[in-house]
Amino acid sequence: MRVSLHRLAGALAALTLASSGLGALTVTAATPAAALDNGVALTPPMGWNSWNSLGTAVTEQQVKQTIDFMSANGLVAAGYNTVTIDDGWSLSHRSDQSTDLVKNSYGAMQLYDTNGYPVWGTDGTGNDPTSGHLVPNSAYPSQSVNGQTVNGIQYLAWYAHSKGMKFGLYGTDTYTTCQGHPGSLGHESTDASDFVSWGVDYVKYDDCPYGPQIVGPDGHNDYTQGEGKELTQSMYARVQTFQRALDAASAAQGRPKVVLSVSAQPVHTGVPYLLNANDPARTDPRILAAGTPQYQAPGYAPTGVWCGQVANLCRIGGDRGSDLNGVLYGQQLGTALQYPGNVRPGSWNDLDMMFAGWNYPYGVYGLTTNDSYNKSFTDDESRTELSILSMMAAPLISGADLRTAADSQKTVNGTTFSTGINASSLAIYKNTDVIAIDQDAKDQPATLVGAPPATQTAPVILKRQLANGDTAVAFVNQDPANWQMPSTTLAQLGLTAASYRYKELWTGATGSTTASLGGNWIPAHGVALYRLTPAPAYAPSGIVGDGRYHAIGAGGSNGKALEVQGGCAANVGGNSDINTYQAANAAQQWTFTANPDGTVRITDNCPAHSVLAAGGGVGTAYLLNPSAGNPWQEWKVQQNTSTGTLTITNTGNGLTLDTSGTTTGSNGMTNPANSSAAGQNWTLLS
């Protein structure tokens, strides 16, 4: 729910209701709803929404600028392929009316009885007098597309599609939107049909009930709940009606199905004694299993219980402010951890729009504003937000101003600045390793490692299992002012392999561990995000000490064998390389002799019987006369127990035998250990 610009401030007079006349509640039998499975949003959607940076003033031109920027700067290629216009895009009346919606004193749309007299509608009655279609306002002028005149929304959908993108639009399940424009309640079929015909791929569906406080017969104050159908139909039922209308419209028009995002975590709880006894929320098995607390009604908060039954994206918390706290444990993260069962292909917990890369649009902190709450996001905060959302398998919907510096330039109180995303923030968005965590096929959100944080500034550690058997681990520094050094152990992570290789996904640092992870300094509001892979189990190779000569082939080289470069006629002191395997070639034959200290001497079968040696660092592996005890002539040879490949590590420099390439003549050399380097995995050819 987006906060209204015109809701009445202050307390409203309580409206005491007499018995509603609905009588005792009788729940009738109904078919339990199955989880929504309409074949869309099979991974968390990614894209952009206009609200955070452009609010209700967003225009057709600004949306085009955003589409162009996202397409030209690699965001679409990275997966951010949906651009959505938020509240405020339509006129304040439908096509069948010539004047704007009539509002009552509470800012709600005026309802009428069957005789045409105004009613409050707080007993669940009242009729919506409006009819017709939603109409784009003047910020979205009609355009010509392929010789046909289309409205501005339809034009932007076409324009997004022309750039390989999808297009999203805002609506609500209430009589009015949060900004007072016509909502879709009672007009679901019309609006869904229009959206589909306009080319809309994604709908952000909000919940904005206006009205007086409602006090029940027992004196309990339910506060603002809405009016009319907003009271007799649960949020669950109203969303379900629109979702089914979207699917029906798509089928009727032969168009793809539309992704539906419920963007509201309702602040209201429903009015139990007004909610229809036959409301489908009353028979949903998930809601029944969770139970409904006193003074609440099924099908309202928390959406994490039921939203995946009727929508593809589900807001599980309130609107976030423009600071990092909104996504930390005390707010969205803590809530998301409670509802892992709502996360599956086609259903995702939504932690609200991202502020990563966001620049405060109404001034420059320290120059035209001193409001610290609205300070622009730092790169550390942007990395932290993106890490948390990815760990929770949440949608990555940016609210930053994704336009060029020129397009996003503003002047406030004589100071000119740009709200557009900068280069470092753009790189954060496009981190493919982090996006891969978010989009991982296992669809399993992170869990908390250890106890919940004792304070709002205590660090948080998250663990997420990934589809290929890897594990993602995030260390989140929640402290806005101080650096921290959180750490954990493999045992605390529930990881049982003897060793794990890791990559820190923001710095690119790699390494391995047999016991602990983390323990490095993390800046204020910063994060460290690791991907851990179980290290292969190794055993001493059986070729060591067997007294035989063997040929070994470099990985990725199509079986080219390690040899004395130039053959046996080459002088001692020459290099090694790889060449087409020849079974009788003595220069490609090697014996692996165990030294008393457990190391291995690798000797060729040429008459000189020179030994394979390495230098003090990265460089070519060459052939020398044997020198007992020389660490650069000694190697550790291990065999991967699952693949059978050999890893050959030099004792003197600690580097791994590799090749400079995969073609004939590529030198043998030593490089830092790298599990993804094919040349470091040697196969036994004879």
CATH pick for 549-684 out of 3.40.470.10, 3.30.70.120, 2.80.10.50, 1.20.1080.10: 2.80.10.50
Q: What is the pLDDT of residues 17-29, one digit of tens each?
A: 333 333 233 333 3
The continuous run of DSSP H or E covering 204 comes out as strand 202-206
Q: Please, are residues 80 and 396 in contact by the beta-carbon 8 Å criterion? A: yes
Query: What residues form DSSP beta bridges with 670?
Result: 619, 657
Token pair, residue 397, equals 């919907």
Token pair, residue 325, equals 């706290």
DSSP summary character for residue 373: G
How is domain 447-534 classified at the architecture level of CATH? Sandwich (2.60)
Q: Which candidate, 550, 652, 640, 666, places its Cα nearest to that of 603?
A: 550
Q: Please, are residues 354 and 386 in contact by the beta-carbon 8 Å criterion? A: yes
407 Ramachandran zone, left/alpha/beta (phi>0; psi -120 to 50):
alpha
Nearest 5°: the CA angle 643, 646, 647 is: 120
pLDDT score recorded for residue 365: 84
Nearest-angstrom CA–CA distance, 42 and 330: 29
Q: What is the pLDDT of residues 82-91, one digit of tens each?
A: 999 999 999 9
Kindly list the averaged pLDDT for each block of 10 residues, start to end, along the chain of length 686. 38 33 34 73 98 95 98 98 98 98 96 96 96 98 95 98 98 97 98 98 97 92 95 97 98 98 89 94 94 93 94 94 94 96 96 95 84 85 98 98 96 92 97 98 96 97 97 98 97 94 96 94 98 87 94 96 96 95 96 94 96 94 94 94 92 96 96 89 95
Q: Which amino acid is at 380?
A: D
For 244, residues 6+ apart whose C-beta sits below 8 A from its C-beta are none
- Helices then strands, counting H and E runs in the chain, come out as 13, 40
Nearest-angstrom CA–CA distance, 471 and 534: 9
Alpha-carbon distances, residue 25 vs 20, 29, 123, 234, 282 (angstroms): 11, 13, 15, 15, 11
pTM, 2 dp: 0.82
Domain boundaries, the chain: 46-95+136-439, 447-534, 549-684
Give CA torsion, residues 132, 133, 138, 141, to 10 deg.
Answer: -130
Token pair, residue 567, equals 């053959």
- CATH 3.20.20.70 at 46-95+136-439, yes or no: yes
pLDDT score recorded for residue 537: 81
Token pair, residue 388, equals 């948390």
Indicate the length of the chain as a whole number.
686
Q: Please, are residues 70 and 48 in contact by the beta-carbon 8 Å criterion? A: yes
Nearest-angstrom CA–CA distance, 70 and 78: 10
